[in-house]
Structure 1
Amino acid sequence: MNFEVGGKRFYAMVSPEGMERWSIQQYTSITPKTNFKMLNVFADENENLELPGSDWDLTFSEQNGTTKLSISIYNELLERLAQMIETGFEEGFTMTLKSLDELLATLSHK
């Protein structure tokens, strides 16, 4: 992972059955401590992009001493959203946010 404007993260999502789905996140904008934006695109194992992708906008703000994360995902085509849902996006993203909650809970007690 290269977290800088123009950098990327290349990773595989693996289902419980062992099915792999590759993806690339390309960072398009980073404002330290407040926001970053990226293009998220499906790819094959050789990093060949399967366009179109989704534009993500992640914003961090403080509310009553607590950090709030707002995530907006923009899909140019409805078919892209359908493909994301079909490949388990909802379940995977829910698991990711739960893991983040658990990690942050352990860090706040240190």
Structure 2
Amino acid sequence: MPSPLHRVQDPTEVVKAIKLGKAALYPWEWLPPDLGPLDWAHKIVTYGTLLAVDIGVNHVARFRLSFAVNPAMAPTKEHMALAMAELEHYRDVGHELMPTEQALLLAQRVPRLAL
């Protein structure tokens, strides 16, 4: 069974995690009504620039999510696929993800961080 996904609200914490080689997953249903995936990407890249972290962002329309990684320390494709599959599992079972201050979980050896 997949481990819980957690939200992190502080973009600085997200960028610090990306710097360490974790991925930030952002499901589009978490976007505020007045923002889109490109707005989120701009925000993360801007914080990355301020903290001297190179960040690459991809938008995956098929899974309705965006993710950001450090290109120099990106998770493997297998880890990213597992993280996206875990998110799909929660969507399929209708699990409501609750905001939490717990930040970086590495359950199942899958680096992930959700904004």
Instruction: Pick the structure with greater CA Rg.
Output: 1
Structure in which a larger fraction of residues adopt strand? 1
RCO (CA 8 Å, sep 6+): is it higher in 1 or 2?
2
Structure in which a larger fraction of residues adopt helix? 2
Common fold by TM > 0.5: no
- TM-score bracket, shorter-length normalisation: 0.3 to 0.5
TM-score, structure 1 normalization: 0.35
